[in-house]
Structure 1
Amino acid sequence: MTPEELAGVREYLEAFAAELFDGFFRADQRRWGQAYVRGLLLEGRRKSVEPMAARLGEDGNRQALAHFITSSPWDAAHVRARLAWRMHEAIGPEALIVDDTGFLKDGDASACVSRQYTGTAGKVTNCQVGVSLHLARDHASAAVNWRLFLPASWDPGSPGAEADKVARRTRCGIPDHVGHVEKWQLALDMIDETLSWGIDVPLVVADAGYGDAAAFRLGLEERDLPYAVGISSRLTAHPAHARPVTPPYQGTGRPPAAKYPGKPRTVKELVLQAGRQAARPVSWREGSRPGKSRSGFKRMHSRFVALRVRPAGREIRQATNGVELSERWLLAEWPAGQSEPVQFWLSDLPSGMPLATLVRLAKLRWRIEHDYREMKQALGLAHFEGRTWNGWHHHVTLVCAAHAFCTLQRLAHHPKDTVPV
């Protein structure tokens, strides 16, 4: 960049940070908030406090930065709400995407560290797990909310509590009211909070870690929020044409409840029954490989089967209370050359939804992988070295701010470009 261009970016960053931190009463908080975000944006391999302070020049006060991120009593939710308003306007999201990511740790002193599974490592390992919520459409996305998952071993009210971890809660500053909550419930809590900020939620997208939880899907339906969520091949359903049958009443005892005549089948079995001939070719976005499309990248394409089904399971039956099970979309990717389908989704989008639109929205989750990669590799998402609950929330919130600034810069220069995966 030319000196003039660098000066323009610095001026824009100052205005952006001033908007985010406008609610801070103290000038020093506004100053160090802006300095921290700038430190995250500067070139450098490590984005923890000490190396950032060394790169920040006159704002390189290590002690002040450490206090601001770890101990200063500012509300991360206030900044996230302002960030969500700004990015909702800039992106015009088609969906909220829910996912989680791991923060690998060597020691066990940080808040909520435990041996647990994370897709970041692809195995059970020592880590923290954060659940995040992203505003997204095909060409842009931004993380706007976070929860730090508290394992049962950290919850004094859980049968799985471990004395040494419970004892560390006070040192880590974990609020007394925070207990072990499943990740899908944290996602619903974040969605509720985001709705309370006045953010419109057109669609919720998530992977099978959330979609397999019937309680999560029911929670979205109770909130009248449409969804397109990944599911495992083991989830069960009835075909759409199935209807419950009421057995004859014998005149004694409680009248029998209506039941579906056959057992539900796994979604994989239903798709296999439909057969390979039911798969249709769909192209949904440009990928990362060179191709002959307008953007210069090859379009992503595969073959998909879309069926109308009635999801089953005990929780679903209890929620319907004997009423007929609702119809949903079952979407399955069945690539050419594969002997069986490889991925499945469930959605309550309208029955007349075109297949190409259904596929594109279900596949929109790729944006969250792009966000995680950029925030971890370039912006130091996993570089926080503090051990406190508030420090973690402060750091991930400001990383989101830095990521949002990068997204706004890209949109300003190429408003319709899709960032290839």
Structure 2
Amino acid sequence: MAEVREDLEAFTAELFDGFFRADQRRWGQVYVPGLLLDGRRKSVEPMAARLGEDGNRQALAHFVTTSPWNPAHVQARLAWKMQDAIGPEALIVDDTGFLKDGDASACVSRQYTETAGKVTNCQVGVSLHLAHDRASAGGCSCPPPGIPSPRRRIRPRSPAASGAVSGSGHVEKWQLALDMIDEARSWGVDVPLVLADAGYGDPTAFRLGLAERKLTYAVGISSRLTARPAHARPITPPYQGTGRPPVATYPDRPMTVKELVIQAGRPAARPVSWREGSRPGKGRSGLKRMYSRFVALRIRLAGREIRQATKDAELPERWLLAEWPATESEPVQFWLSSLPSGMPLATLVRLAKLRRRIEHDYREMKHALGLVHFEGPTWQGRHHHVTLVSAAHAFCTLQRLTRDPKDTAQD
């Protein structure tokens, strides 16, 4: 315990070293350890009661709600430290919901969240996570950004700089994600690959935004997206000599990605084992290997937005990856990727499935570190709190990496 305490003191001292004011450095080095103490609630009052001599409730409340420190400085330092410690293979984009009873908190609206599995009163926070097979670390964007229904106008509850709401009342979560990726890259964070679920993969604008930034991606998509096989070629009709010259078009109608995989047939599915799970089995560590069957096809996505963005008669090739378990009559999950054409199937699957690591991050941050326990109506207070929770989670990740690497393998 003494060694962990020393590590924590060194970690927080380094993290808050850039703060100009001594009181901000002091209470930052108290708040993060407070989040790590055992206890059900991690809001200011119960944390102060557990901190003993350092439990100054008023000082902690002032530090997290009104003290004018910039969370970006903490986030950047965390990103640098965790990038070196993890050696990330990907940057994972995701979001999580914060259920609310009222509408007094920043960026609250009625919207869908997978946390509740329905439309309800909540905040939704977009997050970035640096991830490798053995570890991941990240945190929610803050306030976390409210992402109201596209058809609902709301009154702004946070500064315009938050990017959560605008004069028109809505900013798409994929746009928030792109803004966060831009900020992370401005800190010098390397983005080898972007992973996301279908909530980000379906919008063409998000994928085009990544392509404009020359970022490789592997994103979930729904079965209804349309595409053509990679061998499809556009045809230019003969010019008749009057009017505008004809443009090249694809003669065959596009098919849904589900239809393309079914057309390839069940024999195209190959067995792949991508990692060890948490249940006992025959893996090297005594755990069961995660296993399924997958189809990988080269395709060309259809759509006017893509044609306009590429300004080319021939649409770009992409990977279509589909999971088709032996027990199912049709494929059950789909991904789209801009990874190189020669990529082995096992690597495609492993990288696409890497997104599941963030479920462990969310469990730990929400249930053990108090991500959802902030009590206050202000944008700045929530912004500060989730940044400090990210710091506490980063410390836990570093401890697992240095003390028992096997503990970092999560289901």
Question: Quick one: which amino acid aligns to residue 20 of structure 1?
Answer: L
Partner residue, 1:3:
none
* 2:360 is equivalent to residue 383 of structure 1: no
* Structure 2, unpaired ranges of 5+: none
Equivalences for 1:120-139 in 2 at 5 Å?
Answer: 120-139=115-134
Deviation digits for residues 59-86 of structure 1 (CA, Å, limit 9, x no counterpart): 1011111111110111111100000000
> What secondary structure, in the 3-state scheme, does the structure 2 residue paired with 1:294 have?
coil
Counterparts of 1:40-189 in structure 2 under 5 Å? 40-144=35-139, 146-147=141-142, 148-151=144-147, 160-162=152-154, 165-166=155-156, 169=157, 178-179=165-166, 180-189=170-179
- Which of residues 186, 203, 206 in structure 2 aligns to 1:213? 203
Letter aligned with residue 58 of structure 1:
E
Q: Is the 8 A contact 2:147 2:173 kept in 1?
A: no
**What count of residue pairs does the alignment treat as equivalent?**
406
Residues 174, 388 of structure 1: 8 Å contact kept: no
Q: Distance in 2 between matches of 1:302 and 1:175?
A: 44
Residue in structure 1 matched with residue 329 of structure 2 by the alignment = 339
Is 1:202–2:192 an aligned residue pair?
yes
5 Å-filtered alignment, 1:359-398, equals 359-398=349-388
2:325 and 2:334 mapped to 1: Cα distance? Answer: 12
State the distance in 1 between where 2:252 and 2:281 align: 48
Following superposition of structure 1 onto structure 2, how do residues 262-341 of structure 1 map, counting pairs within 5 Å? 262-341=252-331
Query: Aligned equivalents of 1:377 and 1:252: distance in 2?
Result: 69
**Letter of the structure 1 residue corresponding to residue 108 of structure 2:** V
CA distance in 2, matches of 1:33, 1:418: 27
Following superposition, which runs of at least 4 residues in structure 1 exceed 4 angstroms of deviation? 172-178
1:300: Cα distance to partner? 0.2
1:58, CA displacement in angstroms?
1.1
Structure 1 residues 52, 347: CA separation in 2 closer, same or farther (over 3 Å shift)? same
State the secondary structure of the residue aligned to 1:194: helix
Residues of 1 paired with 2:273 and 2:148: CA distance?
Answer: 43
* Aligned-partner SS, 1:299: strand
Q: What TM-score, normalized to structure 2?
A: 0.96
1:176 deviates by: 8.6
One-letter amino acid matched to 2:210? L
Contact 1:144 1:400 in 2 (8 A): yes
Taking the aligned partners of 1:275 and 1:404, their CA distance within structure 2 comes to 44
The 8 Å contact of residues 228 and 348 in structure 1, kept in 2 or not, is answered as yes
Contact between 1:83 and 1:144, CA under 8 Å: does it hold in 2? no
Any unmatched runs of 5+ in structure 1? 1-5
The answer to whether the 8 A contact 2:79-2:189 is kept is yes
SS of residue matched to 2:405:
coil
Percent identity over the alignment is 79
- Asked if structure 1 preserves the Cα contact closer than 8 Å seen for 2:96 and 2:125, the reply is yes
Aligned alpha-carbon RMSD (Å):
1.6
Aligned to 1:228: 218
Q: SS state of the match for residue 329, structure 1? A: strand
Aligned to 1:8: 3
Structure 1 residues 4-59: Cα deviation after superposition (integer angstroms, max 9, x where no partner): xx221111111101111111011111111111111110000011111001000111
